[in-house]
Structure 1
Amino acid sequence: MERPDDRVPSAFRFAAELVAWVATPWALAAYGWPLAVLSLVVLIGLPAVFATPGDKQKVMVPVPGAVTVLLVLMQLAAAVVSAWWLWPLWAAVPVTVLALAVLVTERPRWRWLLSPAG
């Protein structure tokens, strides 16, 4: 199975990651800056270190495709939960719509990641 074209899904995915990277530490800062920093280490560090070969050009620690899918789901959950926790309705709803768009557009990539080739 060939890796699907990922240009549009990656734009949506990156936008959702940005929301997670901003909103999650912001939400957790009320409980202490170490927790906010830890959230950044998890949200940015884990996907930077663990990747599926063929999905990224440089892989530090190779993992199966299912791990990559779970890391994306973690980012989406962080973005949505943090947005609803922090922001008013007019800001949280678009974040939720963005996360849903990621879930839809990522399906071909996830099928590839979860296949024996991924």
Structure 2
Amino acid sequence: MSSTSRPDDRLASVFRFASELIAWVATPWAIASWSLPLAVLSVVVLIGLPTLLSTPGDKRNVIVAVPGPVTIALVLVQLVAAVVAAWAAWPPIAAVPVTVLAAITVLLELPRWRWLASR
């Protein structure tokens, strides 16, 4: 595979999406007891930023083009939000699997992140 070819991330995308879903649920859940407007804002940010900002070649429809490291950072924000919010909002029996899921996601994302880092 040449350095310009986007790596196959079909498996990674399943784990990435599962982590994103958890972030979208757990983050407002963890924040809601402090502020409902911030809980809503967290979902808008977690869903909105990756929808608006993407690296050309990584997604079919690019609304606002950003360099690859920005896309990597957006995924990391989602993963950190999922883990931190799960530990803040849920018991360990739920937070531990979220943490494991996030760790597996990072490992599976590495080839894509290497490719994105060169963009």
Q: How high is the TM-score relative to the length of structure 2?
A: 0.96
The residue number in structure 1 matching 2:80 is 77
Instruction: Indicate yes or no: 2:17 matched with 1:52.
Output: no
The residue number in structure 2 matching 1:87 is 90
Give 1:101's aligned amino acid: I
Instruction: Indicate yes or no: 2:23 matched with 1:26.
Output: no
Pairwise CA distance, 1:114: 0.4
Structure 1 gap ranges (5+) = none
Give 2:86's aligned amino acid: A
Q: Give the aligned length.
A: 116
Pairwise CA distance, 1:44: 0.3
Pairwise CA distance, 1:89: 1.0
Please give the alpha-carbon distance, in whole angstroms, between the structure 1 residues aligned to 2:16 and 2:75: 8
Out of 5, 28, 47, the residue aligned to residue 8 of structure 2 is 5
Percent same amino acid at aligned positions?
A: 66
The residue number in structure 2 matching 1:98 is 101
Query: Cα RMSD between the aligned structures?
Result: 0.6
Please give the alpha-carbon distance, in whole angstroms, between the structure 2 residues aligned to 1:98 and 1:88: 16
TM-superposition CA deviations, 1:29-52 (whole Å, max 9, x none): 111211011101110000000000
Give 2:62's aligned amino acid: V
Structure 2 gap ranges (5+) = none
The residue number in structure 1 matching 2:46 is 43
